[in-house]
Amino acid sequence: MSDDLRETMSLLADRADPSGPPPAPDELWARGAAYRRRRRAVGAAGVAAVLVLLAALGGLAWDRGRAEVQPAGAVDAGVGGGLRLPDTFFTPNDWLPAAEAPTGPLVATVPWSDAGWLGSRPGLVGVSATGEYAFLPLVDAAHGDLTTALSADGRWLAWWTSGGAITGAPVDPAASGTDAPVTGLAVMDTTTGEVQRREVVSEHGLQPEGLAWAGDTLWWSTFAFTDVGSAAGSTSSFLRAAAWDLSNGTSISLGVADRPAYVPGMGAADSGSLVATSGRRVVRFPGPGAREVLRGDRQLLGAAFASSEGRTVVTTAYARGTGRFADRPTEPVLATPAGDGRLTVRPLRVEGYAPETLTPVGWRDETHVVLAASDLETAFVSVDVATGETEVVSRAELQVASAQVSFAQGVWSAPERDVVAPPDPFDPRAVAALGVVVVLLGAAGVGLWRRRVRP
């Protein structure tokens, strides 16, 4: 038998007999010490890897969530003077922080879902004059109706409130669209954070209708619910309307002849007049107790905005044709006085845009209107009313009409400004869950190694 064969057979015999000769004590000690060192090293490496991953995850979450809100007084006051027109209006993040100090003048507000650890609730995001985004702390806001109005200079923000006194049972939430009935309205001075409130006495709560600024005067109107029935059975009557002058704090209730006839069409003029559409009419309110009615030959709808001299109005009308108005497309129109209480209404054609996608949002100057052209995103187009020439002055990542965005009218006449995207925080619940997963995987990996690797 050859030597190689004898060596192979001896090795096989040794492996087949696990009770072979024990290792020397020194060898066992060395092997145990080496295993302990390896175990400690692998454990330390695992802990270090987990800590590095957690630090990276926390740092990334912190960086994406950083937000600064422009402090009050950091921009000049005045319509268009302190405001800047952002080149882009971004889609807010549900996890934006809340403003902890006065924001200063706002260029826009966006109703948006305000996320929390236990769920989400309706909230309002403010866009400051320098392009920062944050949720606004609205006192007793009626979250079922976050319709808001910004004054032309972005200083005053108005919203509907709940929590006030009613003389009877509250209206059914299914009828009012809010958990608590609307009982009044509030106005915040964005430069100081001061909030003023007006309560409106009613038996069951209010149905908000119109909310618009003309200068420092807030015009508002509501219906009062007359019963507390279901969504199908509740009715409302008795239109209340008032003009609240914030410059001196006075509030004037308006009579039937002096209040806006069709409040959803309320807009504003730089001259301080309020304008509203009502069927084929444009109604102009130079101030409480005075109004001018002009009649045209087109069915008008939606908000109306008057030019700086308060005469020419840009609004929306149904296209000419036969059949029900609801079946016809809409188009932007210009309405100008023609004498004897009549209006001349003409379509505002914009090359390259379908008329039904255009919505008036204000005036850039005396000869240019601004239209929101909506598709998947929104482009704000400045249109020369005489020549039809167009220029895109800003864009929005969200559908402006569906999001109920409120703009400070002064922003459309303000200089343009390039802005950066707002913070885009991660959902902290997902970050926390991922952190737990990282820790568990790290512990499981070290434990598996210790089970599989022996001295």
Question: Which of 110, 160, 172 has the alpha carbon at shortest distance from 136?
Answer: 110
pLDDT at 88: 92
- The DSSP output letter for 264 is G
| 400-437 per-position pLDDT tens digit | 766 678 899 999 999 988 888 887 776 665 666 666 66
Higher pLDDT residue, 404 or 25?
404
At 277 the pLDDT is 82
CB atoms within 10 A of CB 322: 6
Q: Which tens digits make up the pLDDT trace of 1-23?
A: 545 445 444 544 454 445 556 55
- The total number of residues shown for the chain amounts to 455
> What pLDDT score does 371 carry?
94
Mean pLDDT, residues 358-367 taken together: 91
Tokens of 231: 């969504």
pLDDT at 76: 45
Q: Which residue has the higher pLDDT, 141 or 78?
A: 141
N-terminal to C-terminal alpha carbon distance within the chain: 37
Identify which has the larger pLDDT, 432 or 304.
304
Query: How much is the mean pLDDT over the chain?
Result: 75
> How many C-beta atoms lie closer than 10 Å to residue 250's C-beta?
11
Is the pLDDT reported for residue 107 higher than 90?
Answer: yes
pLDDT at 262: 45
Per-residue model confidence as pLDDT tens digits over 134-192: 999 888 888 666 788 999 999 999 999 988 888 888 887 766 666 778 888 999 999 89
Show Cβ contacts of residue 206 under 8 Å, excluding neighbours closer than 6 positions. Answer: 160, 181, 182, 183, 184, 200, 222, 223, 224, 225, 240
Over residues 366-376, mean pLDDT:
88
Q: Tell me, what's the pLDDT at 337?
A: 87
**What is the CA angle 326-112-225, rounded to 5?**
60
Contact 360, 370 (CB under 8 A): yes
Q: In one letter, which amino acid is 146?
A: L
| pLDDT digit string, tens, across residues 335-347 | 988 888 899 999 9
**Coil, strand or helix at 94:** coil
More confident: 326 or 224: 224
Return all residues near 198 (Cβ < 8 A) that are at least 6 apart: 184, 185, 186, 242, 244, 251
How would residue 77 be classed by pLDDT, with cut points 50, 70 and 90? very low
Please report which confidence band the pLDDT of residue 259 belongs to, taking 50, 70 and 90 as the band edges: low
For the segment 364-387, the average pLDDT, to the nearest whole number, is 90
Phi, psi (deg, nearest 5) at residue 313: -120, 135
**CA-to-CA distance for 351 and 372, rounded, in angstroms?**
14
Average of pLDDT values for 243-257? 73
Task: Quote the pLDDT of residue 370.
Answer: 95
CA distance 60 to 52: 12
* Res 72 pLDDT > 60: no
CA pair distance 276, 266, nearest whole angstrom: 4
Q: Which helix (H) or strand (E) holds 139?
A: none
The pLDDT confidence band at residue 261, using thresholds 50, 70 and 90, is very low
Q: From CA 390, how far away is CA 440, in angstroms rounded?
A: 59
Whether 372 contacts 412, CB under 8 Å:
no
- CA-closest candidate to residue 202, choices 237, 253, 242, 243: 237
Task: Give the model's confidence band at 74: pLDDT under 50 very low, under 70 low, under 90 confident, else very high.
Answer: very low
Highest mean pLDDT among 287-296, 318-327, 367-376: 367-376
Average pLDDT over residues 253-275: 60
Contacts (Cβ under 8 Å, ≥6 apart) of 389 = 383
CA atoms within 13 A on the CB side of 399: 7
Rounded Cα distance between 419 and 364, Å, is 20
pLDDT at 448: 63
SS3 of the chain: helix, strand, coil, percent, to 5: 20, 35, 40
- Residue, of 412 and 47, whose pLDDT is higher: 412
Residue 67 has pLDDT above 80, yes or no: no
Query: How many CB atoms lie under 10 A from the CB of residue 191?
Result: 20
pLDDT above 90 (res 194): yes
User: How many C-beta atoms lie closer than 10 Å to residue 446's C-beta?
Assistant: 19
Residue 179: helix, strand or coil by DSSP?
Answer: coil
Q: Which amino acid is at 4?
A: D
Give dist(CA 304, CA 172) in Å, integer: 33
* pLDDT greater than 80 at residue 91: yes
Neighbours of 66 (CB within 10 A): 10
- The pLDDT value given to residue 281: 85
**Higher confidence at residue 410 or residue 450?**
410
Q: CA-to-CA distance for 206 and 193, rounded, in angstroms?
A: 26
How many whole angstroms separate alpha carbon 44 and alpha carbon 22? 32
